[in-house]
Amino acid sequence: MVAFDYAPAIALLPFASFVIALFAGKYMPKRGALAGILATGGSLVLSIWMAFTVAGGETYNEELYTFVSPEAFDLHLGILVDPLAALMLIIVSLVAFLVHIFSLGYMNDEGETGLPRYYAGLGLFTASMLGFVLADNLFMAFMFFEMVGLCSWLLIGFWFRDDAPPSAAKKAFLVTRFGDYFFLVGVVGIFVTFSTATYAGSESFVRLAEEALAGNVGAVNTFGFEPQTWFAILGLLVLGGVIGKSAQFPLHTWLPDAMEGPTPVSALIHAATMVAAGVYLVARMYGFYALLPTVLAIIAFIGGFTALFAATMAVVKREIKQVLAYSTISQYGYMMLGLGVGGYVAATFHLMTHAFFKALLFLGAGSVIIAMHHNEDMWDMGGLKDRMPVTYWTFLAGSLALAGIFPFAGFWSKDEVLYEALVHGLNDPLLLGAYAMGLLAVLFTGFYTFRMVLLTFHGEPRSETAKNPHGVGWNVKLPLAVLGALAVVAGFINMVPVAELTGANIEFLHKWLEHGITGVTSEHYGELLSEFAGYQAAELSPLIPAVVSLGLALAGAGLAYVLYSGASPERHTDRLGSIKTLLMSNYYQDEYQVWLADATTRVARAADTFDQGVIDGVVNGVSSVSLFSGSRIKRVQTGVVTNYAALLSLGLVALLVVFGLLGGWF
Amino acid sequence: MVPVQYYLLLSAGLFCVGLFGILTRRNALVFLMSVEIMLTAANINFVAFSFQHGNLTGQVFSLFTIALAAAEVAVGIGIVLVLYRNFRGVDVTEAATMRW
């Protein structure tokens, strides 16, 4: 198909905007913003074209460039466009496009300096993420995964002259790197086990693993382990990278600090790129995870726990972006829960709706922050509802979606995740526990979401800036309007409860993910789950769980309304006493990780001593011996020609003597 | 007929005289002369062996050597001139500034 010839351009266009912004940005009228907008807009158009082509039944799985030929290790760059990738491409390029437009209002109009660097970072970030989505093998995915991490470091630390952003950037980089070490080991492990790391096709590692578990081990090397055990180890290693990037417990600590970056960057990181990369990776190689019930249970449990754990912390935060940060961690917990309980479509659905409403909420928060002259404390806001109506209504739509209120996007997707967790959990107590945590988190989500909305927009203004907020331009309102509309309607593509009730054929996302390349479809994953992981779905109407979770969300929202709806609400969190201190300190996770890091300092010091003493000692010794002997031996060259002549003659005599002795002349 | 050994002794003597000159003298012109003497020693060897074997190649070679020696003297005199210009003398031990 001709459309797929342009697939590399989806990632190359933002890369071009990176190059342009970096080298020519300072000569351009908007400092590289226009290049970025054009490039991501081009990517969006191409992605939509890909999606239409995929909808026509075509898929694409080709190698583009080979590093090492397939005989030993198959290291290559390639492109895989199937329904999942096409969907993700649209999400990423759409959010990136809107973030670029929003940046005009947030960065250019606010008179920031260093804009070419900013737009170069955004371009590279988008390019890396699109490359990651297009990748057809784990090796290429790992390369782009690391580039995404690098870009997050560049962008979170954009305001590098202040104290906090560089430190937050370092933390984000190091914490995700820690997960990536496991990922790297996992990728190498997959290479030595299967000799390939491609996702799709009959020679893919996913298919080889499936055959190995079915008894046909073939050339798969499991190092003496049972295939099931060994694959679980590999799956957990790769999961390390996912937990780091998708900010799951216990590696979630970098994400709230990453709020130090510019707000559009937060929107890009948390909605569509970096954090989504982890969940996308699990979805991408779901055929592998579907074989491993142990790993699936771990994913589900981590996801459910993270959803609840992060939601409780969001309840007490003062800064609007902090609330959103913890809600992001919590929502990605739901996606992991969905993947872990076998709800591949549900998790993908939540990934999509979350990308839209979370990007909307971050951009809305950015709009509020512009209005508040970069004050993020919600206790200084209030009453912004009448002063910035566009932001208010779109933000409200996003909040309703986040809280999971009918009929906004988040309701449908979160409900489907929870439904999948429940129907599989009825046969497995561990999954039921994960479901219970996810369900309880709904209550907290409703509460903190509406606490945020009420404190920010309702009541009386609590500061001078809130009385006279700074206005925002079209470049802020347009992305908000687009995403606001999507936050309302995006859920309608997959209304499972309605489909069950009416029998109407409207589960479009299920149908979308069912076709594609053989072996990487949701249908095949379902077979794998029941055959290898032993997942059995209980018969249950989706209506009752939906009503339960909606009721909990409404209860949370109602509680927030009761507590915070007055003209000048009280600080009810103070009444929590020591629990508030615990929550404000994020359960002392940072302290405990710093303590862990400190505890390993002695090992690091010993390694440093070894490096400085032995390794460097040998290198330095070799060079100083050469230097010293050179400085002595050069004295032979006197520059006096007579000495040279004497040495020549003596050499000749010596040679003659040696020949004479050896030749037996004497 | 004089035996070839005498020619060889003469040649070796001349070579040693040339070598002695190079090793002991400092004057560049004496250097050149010493080199000429060593070349002459080589020529005598060529001619002596040519005569011994009845083969003319050695004599032809000595002609070449003479021509080459003339060219060498031309280059050598040039070097001596430059030496004189730069060091106000022709003492070869003075010209030791291009070492380390």
Give the pLDDT mean for A445-457: 88
Per DSSP, the three-state class of A112 is coil
Same structural domain for residues A516 and A622? Answer: no
Select from A554, A585, A616 the last residue of a domain. A585
The sign of the dihedral angle between the CA atoms of A211, A212, A216, A218 is positive
CB contacts, 8 Å: A636 with chain B: none
Give the pLDDT mean for B2-19: 92
Residue B76 lies in a domain: yes
CA of B92 vs chain A CAs: smallest distance (Å): 7
Q: Is A646 on the interface with B (CB under 8 A)?
A: yes
CB contacts, 8 Å: B12 with chain A: none
CA of A619 vs chain B CAs: smallest distance (Å): 26
Give the pLDDT mean for A282-300: 89
Residue A51 lies in a domain: no
Q: What is the ipTM of this complex?
A: 0.87
Confidence class for position B6, pLDDT limits 50, 70, 90: very high
Nearest residue in B to A635, CA atom: B100
Same structural domain for residues A519 and A455? Answer: yes
Tokens of A337: 């829960």
Answer whether the bond into residue A250 is a cis peptide, omega within 30°. yes
What is the three-state SS of A599-657? HCHHHHHHHHHHHHHHHHHHHHHHHHHHHHHHHHHHHHCCCCHHHHHHHHHHHHHHHHH
Residue A298 lies in a domain: yes
Give the pLDDT mean for A469-478: 80
Residue A33 lies in a domain: no
What pLDDT does residue A2 have? 74
Q: Which of A475, A482, A374 is nearest to A30 (CA)?
A: A475
Residue A429 lies in a domain: yes
What pLDDT does residue B38 have? 93
Alpha carbon separation from A380 to A257, A314, A369, A460, B15 (Å, rounded): 21, 18, 11, 10, 106
Same structural domain for residues A394 and A488? Answer: yes
Element (H, E) at A124: helix A115-134
Q: Is A640 on the interface with B (CB under 8 A)?
A: yes
CA of A641 vs chain B CAs: smallest distance (Å): 7
Q: Is A641 on the interface with B (CB under 8 A)?
A: yes
**% residues pLDDT > 70 (chain A):** 99
Same structural domain for residues A530 and A613? Answer: no
Residue B29 lies in a domain: yes
Same structural domain for residues A601 and A468? Answer: no
Candidates B22, B92, B100; nearest CB to A637? B100
Alpha carbon separation from A230 to A61, A212, A235, A241, A402 (Å, rounded): 28, 11, 9, 18, 38
Residue B94 lies in a domain: no
For residue B61, the one-letter residue type is: F
Same structural domain for residues A279 and A196? Answer: yes
**Chain B residues bordering chain A (beta-carbon distance below 8 Å):** 19, 22-24, 26, 31, 92-93, 95-100
d(CA A560, CA A453): 10
Q: Is B19 in Cβ contact with A638 (below 8 Å)? A: no
Tokens of A29: 């009228």
Same structural domain for residues A578 and A599? Answer: no
**Model confidence over A545-554: pLDDT tens digits?**
888 888 888 9
Give the pLDDT mean for A316-337: 89
Q: Which domain holds residue A643?
A: 594-663
Q: Is A283 in contact with A348 (CB distance < 8 Å)?
A: yes
Q: Which domain holds residue B59?
A: 4-87
Give the pLDDT mean for A400-427: 86
Number of domains into which chain A is organized: 2
Same structural domain for residues A324 and A421? Answer: yes
Same structural domain for residues A284 and A304? Answer: yes
Select from A585, A608, A628 the last residue of a domain. A585
Residue A12 lies in a domain: no
Same structural domain for residues A417 and A519? Answer: yes
CATH of the domain at B57: 1.10.287.3510
Give the pLDDT mean for A81-87: 89
Same structural domain for residues A362 and A466? Answer: yes
Residue A7 lies in a domain: no
Per DSSP, the three-state class of A44 is helix
Q: Which of A230, A48, A8 is nearest to A135 (CA)?
A: A8
Select from A520, A553, A585 the last residue of a domain. A585
Residue A126 lies in a domain: no
Nearest residue in A to B26, CA atom: A642
Number of domains into which chain B is organized: 1
Candidates B24, B31, B96; nearest CB to A638? B96
Q: Helix-strand-coil percent breakdown of chain B, rounded to 5?
A: 80, 0, 20
What pLDDT does residue A70 have? 67
Assess whether pLDDT exceeds 70 at residue A606.
yes
What pLDDT does residue A406 have? 80
**DSSP states of A426-462 as a string?**
TT-HHHHHHHHHHHHHHHHHHHHHHHHHHHHHSSS--
pTM: 0.79
What pLDDT does residue A130 have? 92
Same structural domain for residues A390 and A425? Answer: yes
What pLDDT does residue B41 have? 94
Candidates A641, A646, A649; nearest CB to B92? A641
d(CA A411, CA A480): 20
